[in-house]
Structure 1
């Protein structure tokens, strides 16, 4: 089929490659170049770079307005495919490709509809995640499902690790779905089950609350890693927690109390402590938690 592909971040690149290997990608839609790094250099999106390397025509836009709709219409596509583009597809663009648009979403719909499904699945302690290919409709992630796959969430897996896995497996799933739609082998089914929402994470979502139990604290830390990045304030200093692990065999500490034993730094929760492995204190470089502790020169601190 003639396919128009819309996507922006690195997790969408495997899907673009998988679809382009089997079908004719007549155009790629991605968001405008964005300022990155300390020098705020305008940088093309990962999808824009991959499309340019493959010699595919690119449309850059942050809003799918009338002009973008006109340009996509001129591509005369059979199907639209979207993976983490970062913008809404509305009518008349929704009906512009002959077979409409399909979306690869990294959750087991209808659980975790929205912008951050993988992150909220990890934060919430879900045992499984997965990917769903569904027909795009006007409602948020509400269309009928073409295919679904599931995978266990690792006990120590971060949202970033899980998303990277799903990006690879989901790309093949998406390409298979496009094949099945082209051949008329697939029939979509309506979503069923409890709807839960996965809004974009805010900075407040990344704050660790040590009055919660160990499992809850550790799940939130993994769910906001690498972005926006877990943090706390220790004796008034903002500290990002880059890596940590449960310390279930260590004696309990009061919630938020931070102590060191040898090369190990622990912070108390409502259950067993959490061991801090690497941290990034404000105004300093990332470092091992033990090095940070020695530099702080304290016997005991408090995280809030």
Structure 2
């Protein structure tokens, strides 16, 4: 089949590479426009855009996929199917109608669970033991189209959202190619999603990632893993933001938010057991082990995180 690939961030690159290496004909790539990055705020192509240029594939960067010029350019590529991974823009029906077999999205959950922008983060935060990825035909309703195929992936005890997403991106790339194969030879038929098990995964904002130390330790531990690396879990110390890496639940007990620092470890109280802090990053400082940070700021007994 003639395939146009649509994606933007680094997590979409494995699928782009898999399509490029398949028996299908990758005739174009759609990605978000170049964006300012770095200290100089120079315009930089997205990771997918950069990889497409390395592959020598034509790249389309519309401000919005409803733009008539973009749709004309897409139509000129004569795609049989458009494969999508984390493109980052809503597709109007006029664009959805262009490829013969529609647009097929790789979504990082087992649908209908966790429809939306942050399925991996929500699956970890909620304590799911298993997640996965799904390929489905895009329709107007959010992540509601009929499903072609799924894969499952166990969530390991120490997984951050970054760890889990990396594995799903690799496994999902193979699933996407198999889906394209099945559509091409007519052996694969999409099935409507079941009515049961529907849940939503809206984008997690920075304010959502603030830790409430009155919550149970296990809930805080999951929240921090879910928000690592983005948007980054945080609390406050002395009125300034302190970013938190993954923590470990202990058998110790302290009042919520209260710190206890030793030579080699720092623990903080929660609504249940205290947690052992891992790496932290204070405002304007580099990331470092919590014990090193505590020595630098000379934590006093009874200091409480999250105040102010």
Q: Is the TM value for this pair above 0.5?
A: yes
Alignment of 1:9-24 (within 5 A): 9-22=9-22, 23-24=24-25
| Secondary structure at the counterpart of residue 173 of structure 1 | helix
Partner of 2:106: 104
Runs of 4+ in 1 over 3 A off after TM superposition: none
Q: Are the equivalent residues in 1 in contact too, given 2:28–2:59 (CA < 8 A)? A: yes
CA distance in 2, matches of 1:184, 1:198: 32
Partner of 1:170: 172
1:131: Cα distance to partner?
Answer: 0.2
Partner of 2:76: 74
Partner of 2:3: 3
1:12: Cα distance to partner?
Answer: 0.6
Partner of 2:38: 37
Select the residue among 227, 232, 250 that pairs with 2:235.
232
Partner of 2:52: 51
Q: Are the equivalent residues in 2 in contact too, given 1:122–1:219 (CA < 8 A)? A: yes
Q: Are the equivalent residues in 2 in contact too, given 1:26–1:57 (CA < 8 A)? A: yes
| Secondary structure at the counterpart of residue 157 of structure 1 | coil
Q: Deviations over 1:202-254 (max 9, x none)?
A: 1111111111101100100000100110100123221001242222x3x2111
Runs of 5+ unmatched residues, structure 1: none
1:94: Cα distance to partner?
Answer: 0.6
CA distance in 2, matches of 1:37, 1:303: 31
| Secondary structure at the counterpart of residue 302 of structure 1 | coil
Q: Deviations over 1:283-304 (max 9, x none)?
A: 2222221111111112231112
Q: Deviations over 1:39-82 (max 9, x none)?
A: 22211111011111111000012310222111111111101111
1:89: Cα distance to partner?
Answer: 1.1
Q: Deviations over 1:102-159 (max 9, x none)?
A: 0000011111111111111111111111000001111100000000111111111000
| Secondary structure at the counterpart of residue 259 of structure 1 | strand
Partner of 2:163: 161
Q: Number of matched residues?
A: 302
Partner of 1:208: 211
Q: TM-score, normalised by structure 1?
A: 0.97
Q: TM-score, normalised by structure 2?
A: 0.95
Q: Are the equivalent residues in 2 in contact too, given 1:6–1:83 (CA < 8 A)? A: yes
**Which structure carries more strand by proportion?**
1
1:262: Cα distance to partner?
Answer: 2.7
Select the residue among 112, 115, 119 that pairs with 1:117.
119
| Secondary structure at the counterpart of residue 210 of structure 1 | coil
1:280: Cα distance to partner?
Answer: 0.6
Q: Are the equivalent residues in 2 in contact too, given 1:136–1:142 (CA < 8 A)? A: yes
